[in-house]
Structure 1
Amino acid sequence: MTLSCRRAAAAAALALALGLSSPIATAQDDPHAACAAVGWVPREVLQRPVGLREAVGPLHDAVTASSKEAQALYDQGVAYLHSYVWIEAARSFNQSLRADPRLAMAYLGLSRVYSGLEDPVAARAALDEAQARAAGASPREQRRIELRRKQLDAMEDAASAEKHLAYKKALDDALAADMDDPELWLLRGNAEERWASGRGQRGEAASVAFYQQALAIVPDHFAAHHYLVHSYENIGRIDDALRHGQAYARLASDIPHARHMYGHDLRRVGRVEEAIAEFRKAYEIEQAYYAAEKIPAGIDWHHPHNLDLLAGCHQHQGQMRTAEAYMRESLAIPSVMEGREFNKKEWPGFLLALGRNEEALEAARELARGRWPSTRAVGHVLAGQALAVTGRLGAARDELLAAEKGLSEVGAPGAMSRSAIDPYVDGLRGELLLREGRRAEAAPLLKDVQRRIRAVPGPDAWTEALYRLESIARAAREAGDWDLAAYTAEQMREHDPAYAGTRYALALVAEQRGDTAAAGREFTAAVDLWKDADPDLAVLRDARARAGKAAIAAPPALSGSSR
């Protein structure tokens, strides 16, 4: 039985939980349907008929198709593919095959979709179908099919640098023959990522020139704009990312991910309310799509991700009730990927920030029972934090030991990297040292943790780093280490001076040092930035009260001399 088929029972159970009928009924139409699913999506969903859509990104990739209909549906599939809309890409490619069963490139597109759905067996099977039809394709298409074979070879042996280099060399050779093919330039940019499976999300400086060349060939190529957003975010060029994100949202206005990507960088430049509007628009497009197509939100990887960032923006504004509602909606969706389950760590962190420590402990222990080792390790860390803040240091140390043990299972090629987990483990180790009074050992470790979390590229990591800095500052104050609290508050200022929590942390340090004027300014700034926060937000009420006390205690300003 293939890997795809072994996943069938789990996918069928997920389908039933999400309200889908059993996909097995399509077996008579598709020889692979007995496997029930591709990745986490029931095969029946991927095969549903679909028509042509508007505002999904203009694109034309000429292929050997028997009709304009088949070509147009293929183009639509490629457009969806470039926005990681796996379900609609698959439906479009399958519909193009109904119009032209010999369309080899549609099977190539399905192979890429199935990799996005993390089903390597299905991806290879679809490529085999493309190769079986390659004789009727053009030499250019045949080169593209061979490129996909080399890519899959490299993906299936992710530890092999040689196979990744061979794939890049094959792309370079293909470009020598087809220099004006924007799809090849996009693939070449993708290939600059760490793994051969790169699809535009993890590019850095080396990928930029390839995407810019695609734009030179096709001005305003929406996919090039999309990938440039990711690449520029990853190297910290946020103004450039924002410019390309705006273009992507304009050109693919009905794609939730396009609106979401623009929201990424509006948030980074302090335009948080505008970011909320974009994330909310993505949410509304998704909800309308699920209702119209009768597709459950739980099989769309993007939906919980968008909810997470929407919640994070409301948390930034002090709108904790709204943030919690979105977080709970996201948490209710089953995790279909390691990264998705790992990101559920934000929930215990949110509860800890609100002082709901026992709820945080329960949530962290649920993560510690997670499916993937990365989630289990970080769950133990967060349980340790919840125990430490309530004085149960012995139990917190047990959680640290469990997290350290779990690290040995983390870091397989293509999976969550150990470097993503280490700062959490070291952060708990440092916090325990801090709370045990071993400040000389704790401070350098926690400063190094701050350096590492701030260095992680990408918009999600940027927001996560802000709230983790805030957590360290809070722990330092509780432990009475005001030097570390001051250092961390300055890190928060460098990271996001427009966050009210940053000004609040700076104000508390100034107050402790007896600098009444600075404390008053920072408390007032925090109150102003929390202007739309929940009225009963504890830190807002505290900041307002302390600002008032600072104003009373501050010496009167000198008036001008009279004549």
Structure 2
Amino acid sequence: MRALFVLPFALVFTLASASAVSAQAPRAGGERLGKVHFATSCAAPVAEEFDHAMALLHSFEFADAITGFKKALEGDPSCGIAQWGIAMSTWGNPFAGLRSPKTLQEGLAAAQTAQTIGAKSEREREYIAAVALLYKDADTLDHRARTVAYEKAMERIYTKYPTDLEAAAFYALAVDQTALPTDKTYANQLKAAAILEKLYTVEPDHPGVTHYLIHSYDVSALAPRALPYARKYANLAPDAPHALHMPAHTFTRVGSWQESIDTNIRSHDVAMQRHDPGEALHAWDYEMYAYLQTAQDAAAKKILDGVNEIIARPAAPAGGRADMPAMPGMAGGPAGGWAAAAIPARWAIERGAWSEAAALTARPSPQPFVEAITRFARALGAARSGKPDLAKAEIEQLIALREKEVQAKDAYWATQLDIQRQAAQGWAFWAEGRKEDALRTLTAAAALEDTTDKSAITPGPIAPAHELLGEMLLEANQPAAALKEFETNLKREPNRFRSVYGAGRAAESAGDRAKARSYYGQLVKICERGDRRARPDLDHARQYVGASTSSERPLASNSNPFSVTPL
């Protein structure tokens, strides 16, 4: 088994030179998607259309990729590898979790059609056989078993065809797809990245190589390594909405909020131009998250208003993208559906507006983990507004939704909902005066959160457990312990507003003026573009940093912003 994509210097030079000649140029209309060439045995006149569809596939523009592969088939009905492209595009985002029965049925049909058409080359037949493994026996084999089988098949192709850059890229993506969130050695991500780093030296303008490197490093411990690729990808494929959004994964991981805002504005605009509301909402979720971390609340409110307007529209039929069931006002899907639920929840929770959180409207969703967002926000808001009975009712809903994930054998989301349940239960205990039970339960939630990681579908948890625990410890008058929790969360989510502010407040309460000034100064720097007088906690940080040492006063006992009453 090879760990790296290794090419002799002469071969690297040959491939690089060939790439300059055969790589895809901008199509009519100037569409810019990067450089891709996938050698096929199909008729020569469809090669450009096929490469165009491949470029779209590598940037996760699945609906448009399917359209392109269908056009290639129209030009050459014997082009079985184009049907492979349809099956790959139907699978959709490899990091999106379980597939719907409809997606599995459509993908299997596409793979079987590819096998029926066949291909003139053994290499293409092997690609077709590999994609079929993602769908075959889905009624008896679980999602992980099928993705691992696909990974192994792509490894065989990668090994057999050492000069096939496409095989190496898709194999690396398959390795990333099977990475376990509980593996904190990041073995799969590092293995995939090693392959992709080598590919990058051969074809730095290949959209898949750059894109998949960002995914490989999309964990907090590795995210700084992705920065050069994140800063390149949007300009490499600026006509692909996902390529404009994807850098925000890295910018979020490192807390570079304005870069995230800027690239998501571009992504949202291009997504709307391409009639892709799911990608537009996904960009909005990341954009709003960054606005809220920088106290640009007026800008965040505009996004909230836009989402509420979308939700109020009549339901629209599902679009052509994989896994996009109909939802109010849009063609949804995991990313779009998540964003529509997460944005209102974030607006309330990030501002500490607990009564607003408790009053959010819960809406059913085909994905239990999406509905759970609002249930969690309502439970947390009710508990922190001093209404434990209302919180308990929402916690019961969370338990029921988690059971649906268990029945679906989706261990990842079952774990995420368990973290949410424990966090909400901890604050419900606190509202009842059961402080020991509250701290014990929230500590367990934080420990469970440490065993996993956020999904690529979201910029971050709706409310991180370590941060919630830090806020509770502040209320318990344990500032040293609270500071530890905030600092733990900041290692995972740098420059996060509530954790930076919480760390400053904890240091101030503990009498550590130097550390308090450092954290408050950090918050003021993060919020350079923040709205004035939007948040009392930011005002406090500004005042503290601006005060002289002689004028600093101890923290008043009634000034804790994390109390159970709304700010």
Q: Do the two structures share a fold, i.e. TM-score over 0.5?
A: yes
Task: Give 1:406's aligned residue.
Answer: 401
Q: Note closer, same or farther for the CA distance 1:272–1:144 as it changes in structure 2 (3 Å cut).
A: same
Q: Note closer, same or farther for the CA distance 1:161–1:537 as it changes in structure 2 (3 Å cut).
A: closer
How far has the Cα of 1:52 moved from its partner? 7.3
Structure 2 distance, partners of 1:172, 1:529, is: 44
Structure 1 distance, partners of 2:61, 2:108, is: 20
1:133 maps to 2:121: no
SS at match of 1:409: helix
1:505 pairs, out of 502, 505, 513, with 502
Structure 1 distance, partners of 2:77, 2:426, is: 61
Matches within 5 A, 1:463-482: 463-464=460-461, 469-478=466-475, 480=477, 482=479
Q: Could you give the per-residue CA deviations for residues 154-198 of structure 1, whole angstroms, max 9, x where no partner exists? A: 6564427665554444334434442221222223223325659xx
Task: Give 2:287's aligned residue.
Answer: 310
1:487 maps to 2:470: no
1:153 maps to 2:140: no
Q: Note closer, same or farther for the CA distance 1:312–1:254 as it changes in structure 2 (3 Å cut).
A: same
Task: Give 2:443's aligned residue.
Answer: 447
The number of equivalent residue pairs is: 492
How far has the Cα of 1:427 moved from its partner? 0.6
How far has the Cα of 1:386 moved from its partner? 1.6
2:356 pairs, out of 354, 359, 362, with 359
1:541 maps to 2:544: no
Are 1:104 and 1:134, in contact at CA under 8 Å, matched by a contact in 2? yes
Q: Which structure is richer in relative contact order (CA contacts within 8 A, separation 6 or more)?
A: 2
Q: Could you give the per-residue CA deviations for residues 253-285 of structure 1, whole angstroms, max 9, x where no partner exists? A: 322222222233234334322232222222232
Q: Note closer, same or farther for the CA distance 1:469–1:530 as it changes in structure 2 (3 Å cut).
A: farther
How far has the Cα of 1:213 moved from its partner? 5.0
1:204 maps to 2:180: no
Question: What is the TM-score of this pair, normalised by structure 2?
Answer: 0.76
Structure 1 distance, partners of 2:177, 2:255, is: 30
2:414 pairs, out of 413, 418, 422, with 418
SS at match of 1:437: coil
Q: Note closer, same or farther for the CA distance 1:442–1:54 as it changes in structure 2 (3 Å cut).
A: same
Q: Note closer, same or farther for the CA distance 1:132–1:515 as it changes in structure 2 (3 Å cut).
A: closer
Are 2:464 and 2:489, in contact at CA under 8 Å, matched by a contact in 1? no
Structure 2 distance, partners of 1:145, 1:521, is: 57
Q: Could you give the per-residue CA deviations for residues 120-158 of structure 1, whole angstroms, max 9, x where no partner exists? A: 2222222233223215x2222222222222332165644
Matches within 5 A, 1:26-37: none
Question: What is the TM-score of this pair, normalised by structure 1?
Answer: 0.77
Task: Give 2:36's aligned residue.
Answer: 59
Identity among equivalent positions (%) equals 21
Equivalent residue letter for 2:367: W
Task: Give 2:127's aligned residue.
Answer: 144
How far has the Cα of 1:419 moved from its partner? 1.5
2:87 pairs, out of 87, 111, 118, with 111
Q: Note closer, same or farther for the CA distance 1:494–1:126 as it changes in structure 2 (3 Å cut).
A: closer
Which segments of 5 or more consecutive residues in structure 2 lack a partner in the other structure? 1-26, 94-98, 180-186, 311-328, 554-567
Equivalent residue letter for 2:246: M
Equivalent residue letter for 1:75: D
Task: Give 1:29's aligned residue.
Answer: none
Structure 2 distance, partners of 1:190, 1:157, is: 24
Structure 2 distance, partners of 1:321, 1:482, is: 32
Q: Note closer, same or farther for the CA distance 1:425–1:339 as it changes in structure 2 (3 Å cut).
A: farther
State which drifts further: 266-275 or 389-398.
Answer: 266-275
State which drifts further: 137-146 or 342-351.
Answer: 342-351
Q: Could you give the per-residue CA deviations for residues 322-354 of structure 1, whole angstroms, max 9, x where no partner exists? A: 112223434525462245434423422421333
How far has the Cα of 1:444 moved from its partner? 4.0
Are 2:80 and 2:115, in contact at CA under 8 Å, matched by a contact in 1? yes
Q: Note closer, same or farther for the CA distance 1:497–1:193 as it changes in structure 2 (3 Å cut).
A: closer
SS at match of 1:204: helix
Task: Give 1:384's aligned residue.
Answer: 379
Q: Note closer, same or farther for the CA distance 1:334–1:484 as it changes in structure 2 (3 Å cut).
A: farther
Task: Give 2:166's aligned residue.
Answer: 183
Q: Could you give the per-residue CA deviations for residues 3-54 of structure 1, whole angstroms, max 9, x where no partner exists? A: xxxxxxxxxxxxxxxxxxxxxxxxxxxxxxxxxxxxxxxxxxxxxxx96753
Q: Note closer, same or farther for the CA distance 1:409–1:499 as it changes in structure 2 (3 Å cut).
A: closer
Task: Give 2:24's aligned residue.
Answer: none
Structure 1 distance, partners of 2:201, 2:140, is: 34
Q: Could you give the per-residue CA deviations for residues 333-378 of structure 1, whole angstroms, max 9, x where no partner exists? A: 5462245434423422421333443432232x414x3333223344
Q: Which has the larger radius of gyration?
A: 1
Structure 2 distance, partners of 1:458, 1:400, is: 22
Structure 1 distance, partners of 2:248, 2:109, is: 37
SS at match of 1:205: helix
Q: Note closer, same or farther for the CA distance 1:116–1:228 as it changes in structure 2 (3 Å cut).
A: same
Q: Note closer, same or farther for the CA distance 1:339–1:217 as it changes in structure 2 (3 Å cut).
A: same
Which segments of 5 or more consecutive residues in structure 1 lack a partner in the other structure? 1-49, 197-201, 556-563
Over aligned residue pairs, what C-alpha RMSD do you find?
A: 3.5
Structure 2 distance, partners of 1:169, 1:470, is: 39
Q: Note closer, same or farther for the CA distance 1:441–1:192 as it changes in structure 2 (3 Å cut).
A: same
Q: Could you give the per-residue CA deviations for residues 390-423 of structure 1, whole angstroms, max 9, x where no partner exists? A: 2111222232233223321114246862122111
1:372 maps to 2:361: no
Q: Note closer, same or farther for the CA distance 1:63–1:496 as it changes in structure 2 (3 Å cut).
A: closer
